[in-house]
Structure 1
Amino acid sequence: MSPDMLAAWVAPDGRIGLAGALLLGLSMGLTACTVTCLPFMGTWALGRAGSRRETWRHTAAFILGRVMAYAALGAVAGQMGQWLLTALQGRPGMLALGVASTLAGLWLMASGAPTGPTAPASGGTRPVTFHPARAGAVSTCTRHRLSATPPLLMGAAMSLTPCAPLGWLIGVCASSGSLAQGLGHGLAFGIGAGVTPLILLVPAFGLLGRRMVDDRAWLGFWLRLAAGGVLIFLGTQRLFSA
């Protein structure tokens, strides 16, 4: 390895550099992250059975929640040192994930069928429709934006779950003694963790949900009810285990 490449991985004082944090996040995002996160986001996407655009938006919201949480954890660790690592041993991450998953399940059960434009089932031409009133359109747009809140919260809560890479991240950020350096390491780690097969798997679950309710609108209610129940079960399981 050349000196220039080594400098990217190791900081001048011997600590792991930003590229090292990025690589560790990437290794976690491609392995453990997928196994842990898929039951939550896959169930959400399946139950929503929304449009392709909505599923991608919710996947992006989930990943954004993780990146923001890791960046915040890095900044706090850089400022407050090992205190954060000790605090996380009390399993607040399990509590946060339990609450986020339970709320997502309740949200899913209370939500109606997707109202966004969808492609015709048989490949025919789309029927002519009149545009809704402006107030109704604004309300629909607001609902679409708010529907990304549960994935965002679940992504942030997932980042609080204790694991070896998270302990490493907090330790490195705490040893830096700098809020800015901690933020940088947390952001690099989060970006790496965001490169995950969930980017492909979650939309696949959304497509499966759309296929299941295609020409069977009555099934949408039961699909949302079942998926919401699974999320509530996963959430309460985390709450009791904490």
Structure 2
Amino acid sequence: MGPVSHWMIKRFIKYYGVDMNIAQSTNVRDYASFNQFFTRALKSKARLLDEAELISPVDAEISQIGQIDNGSLLQAKGRSYHLNTLLGGNAKMVNLFKQALFCTLYLSPKDYHRIHMPMTGLLTDMLYVPGRLFSVNQRTARVIPNLFARNERVICLFETEFGPMALILVGAIFVGSIETVWAGTVTPNRLSQIEHWHYSEKTVLQRGAEMGRFNMGSTVIVLLDANRLKWLPELAASNKVLMGQGLAQQYSSPELAK
């Protein structure tokens, strides 16, 4: 990587206000490529894990948060989209989450772009759904119908002590690929067709462990069992959250979930 590329990284840091003090490598000359800088690791104590049952998988802004209503998720004020389309028509997953909780997390260019486990989970399935690469910022979400169900995405399904959990990694403009720690680079798919992997081996990822990364920025959508967990009441759209920050807690009594 030459002086021009390092100059570009410095310009990017200044333009977006990237906090390099928390990066494992603070010197831009330590990065062999722009993507290596973009997916930079943080210092070991830069992000602490909250005691809540479910933590944020990323540094992000909450785009929308709530519960799926009759198979629809809120995209932006006045705009909803369908769970069935988001999940690539996979009937098993749709059935698991048709009345689930959802949280849409937008990663801006300056954010940390590695994705971590919100809670310990057993990996059961991964689905790749080809699509577009529209920008996923708030402005675009307000004007493009079915945005997250149209963009390229990787859906990861886990079994947890609080029921099923899905992490949906949504591609966007300039996203070169999406990676997971167990499969490596998942996108792009040259065949432009849905691919499904079912995992029979016991692949357990611990709470807070890295599970993937975006090679450039995008969005993560978290789906949860609404009968076991509830969003923390102080959370709302436009809130900024950090990886490891509490997002959801369990009901104190199963009766309260009804």
TM-score range, shorter chain: under 0.3
Higher relative contact order (CA 8 A, sep 6+): 1
Q: Which has the higher strand share?
A: 2
Q: Which has the higher helix share?
A: 1
| Rg larger for | 1
TM-score of the superposition, structure 1-length normalised?
0.22
